[in-house]
Structure 1
Amino acid sequence: MEGRLPYDDFPVVFLPPYESPPAWVPPHERVYHPDYNNELTQFLPRTVVLKKPPGAQLGFNIRGGKASQLGIFISKVIPDSDAHRAGLQEGDQVLSVNDVDFQDIEHSKAVEILKTAREITMRVRYFPYSKCLLAPNLVT
């Protein structure tokens, strides 16, 4: 054992050459940069515009509201409805409707606004975990 080092029995490992990290990309450019595009854009807020003829259905259900402390979410979208064609999807959080903040609104008030408006400009963002968090649907 004399003259031997404790690690002499282990094989020699050759590491690959060092590669410099990629160039730094400013945060405001990362959303559209290919090195940072991990399909995260689906979670960014977007605008959906719906026009509702008198007596027509909106084509989606909502749930949540101030009582749940979670906001208003799209719980169901009727296939082939105007809402579906406009891009609404189950799990979208409704941030605002016609410039009315929906992040801290009573459910009944949200339903009233949605049912009485003829043209609806909604600001929404996809939040897939809402399905686990909220109470039963209310049809609008």
Structure 2
Amino acid sequence: MAIQLFRQHRQSYVLTLATASRSGEYYKFGQALATVVARHHPQIRINVIHTEGSAQNLEFIESGAAQLALIQGDSSIQSSAQAMTLLFPETAHVLVNRQASIETMADLQGKAVALPPKGSGAYQLFMPIAQHYGLNLHSAG
């Protein structure tokens, strides 16, 4: 019994955390989380991986390639995933050039619009908003 307790106490755990692009906030948050966990629980190591965003993160959870994932709050979750906590509220921002004569969402129709990456949670958040306002947006490429 004492040997088993000793082994359990000395056992280390490695978890993979799927985040988003290296330049994004989810990736930076994942790195900070891994640092804090390592500092306070040295038996747990979190490998932070960069991904294309929420959709791919959920695929990684589903396939077992990751045990943890950061996803957009309004993403649909498959049966193998379990939401643990809401980290912060998600908001969509639409920024326009003052000289573009854009006052409403409808004014975006026919304009060049920079879209978030297709697999990202930001894309999943923005597209229903665009559809609600009747915008027909197509990403290049």
TM over 0.5: no
Q: Between the two structures, name the one with larger relative contact order (CA 8 Å, sep ≥ 6).
A: 1
Q: Report which of the two has the higher share of strand.
A: 1
Q: TM-score range by the shorter chain?
A: under 0.3
TM-score by length of 1: 0.22
